[in-house]
Each structure stands twice: as C-alpha cells, then as structure tokens.
Amino acid sequence: MSVRVLVAKVGLDGHDRGIKVVARLLRDAGMEVVYTGLFQTPESVAVAAIQEDVDVVGLSMLSGAHLTLAPLVVTALRERGSDIPVIVGGIVPANDVDELRALGVADVFGPGASAQEIVAAISALAPHSS
C-alpha cells in the first residue's frame, strides 16, 4: 500500500511552482499525491484530506501566514475527528518552527530541504509505513 499525501496551498498565496515540484518528487518516490490547487481554505483542505483518505497533509506556505493558516488546518482536521499529520514547507523563519510544532504541525521544511529528507519524513509519519 503506498503512502497517500494531500498537498495544498492555503490562503491567498498564488505561488505554486514549489508545490508542483514537491508533488512530482513525492510521486516519483512512489507516493500517491492529491493536489488541491491554489487558494484553499483550512476547512476545504481538511475535508479533502478526509475524503481522499490520505496519510499526511503537506502545506506550501510562502505568504508569511504560516502561524495562522497551518494551525487552522490542524484544528479543522481535529474537529472532524482526524489525526492526519500536517507538515509545512516553504518560507518559514527558524524562530517560528518550534511554535508551529507546539500548534500541532508535525514537521517543517524550509528552502534547501532535500527530496530524500521530505520523503523520509512523510514515510515516517504515514501510519502504515512502519
């Protein structure tokens, strides 16, 4: 059974080159990838993640709204009874990483994170990959 990952752009951030690159590298690593597209709400991401029965949700955050939007996705999932882990990739200042983790984000990847690092982290978070 392959790992299923939903990748999403939450909020008004319209930059999608990075998320498309990550989606491709995950697919090339043998994962099933669902890309929700641009301008999603936290609620729409949670609903899609549950409907698609994914193992991990990956958010691409370049707008600076990561401390607001990523926790809202975590909350939307938990309110719906889901414990799907949420990871964040993009432009996240090092000072914000611990706060994101405290707010329920499972992992954070900044610029320069390797494909192997991202794939390994997602694989470790997927419930059936162990």
- Residue pLDDT, tens place only, 46-70: 999 999 999 999 999 988 899 999 9
Q: What is the pLDDT of residue 13?
A: 83
Whether residue 106 is predicted with pLDDT greater than 70 in this model: the reply is: yes
Q: What is the pLDDT of residue 28?
A: 97
Q: Which of the pair, 124 or 14, is modelled with greater confidence?
A: 124
Whether residue 27 is predicted with pLDDT greater than 70 in this model: the reply is: yes
Q: What is the pLDDT of residue 1?
A: 65
Contact 65, 54 (CB under 8 A): no
How far apart CA 41 and CA 34 sit, in angstroms, is: 16
Helix intervals (H) in 1-130? 17-28, 42-51, 66-79, 94-102, 115-125
Contact 30, 59 (CB under 8 A): no
Q: What is the pLDDT of residue 104?
A: 98
Q: What is the pLDDT of residue 81?
A: 98
Report residue 130's pLDDT band, with 50, 70 and 90 as the boundaries.
Answer: very low
Give residue-wise pLDDT tens across range 61-98: 988 899 999 999 999 999 999 999 999 999 999 999 99
CATH superfamily to which 4-121 belongs: Cobalamin-binding domain (3.40.50.280)
For the chain, give the percent of residues with pLDDT over 70: 97
Q: Which sequence spans correspond to the domains of the chain? A: 4-121
Mean pLDDT, range 16-41, rounded to an integer:
95
